[in-house]
Amino acid sequence: MKTKSVTSIGALHPILFFAVMYIVVLFFSIFICSALFYSCKSSPGKVAKKSSAPAQKSTLPAGVSTAVVLR
């Protein structure tokens, strides 16, 4: 009669699954928390004031449009 050998890896499957899931969740939580920390810590961006110059009148004759020629 042949004896059946039982491997212990099958019994450890739930423990290994939760250990791997714990490591994955720990990695993502560190990434998410550091991203939130740096986003809260950052200073607000400076908005540049836009100074508008008066529009210049075109010196081209009526009906002629400007075009850029690339060579």
- Residues 7-43 have pLDDT tens digits of 677 788 899 999 999 999 999 999 999 999 988 887 7
Indicate the DSSP class of residue 8: T
Residue 3 lies in a domain: no
Do residues 60 and 66 touch, judged by C-beta distance below 8 A? yes
CA 69 – CA 71 distance, rounded (Å): 7
Q: What is the pLDDT of residue 11?
A: 80
Residue type, 65: S
Residue 20 lies in a domain: yes
Residue 21 lies in a domain: yes
pTM as predicted: 0.45
Do residues 58 and 65 touch, judged by C-beta distance below 8 A? no
Q: What is the pLDDT of residue 34?
A: 92
User: Tokens 């850029």 belong to which residue?
Assistant: 68
Residue 27 lies in a domain: yes
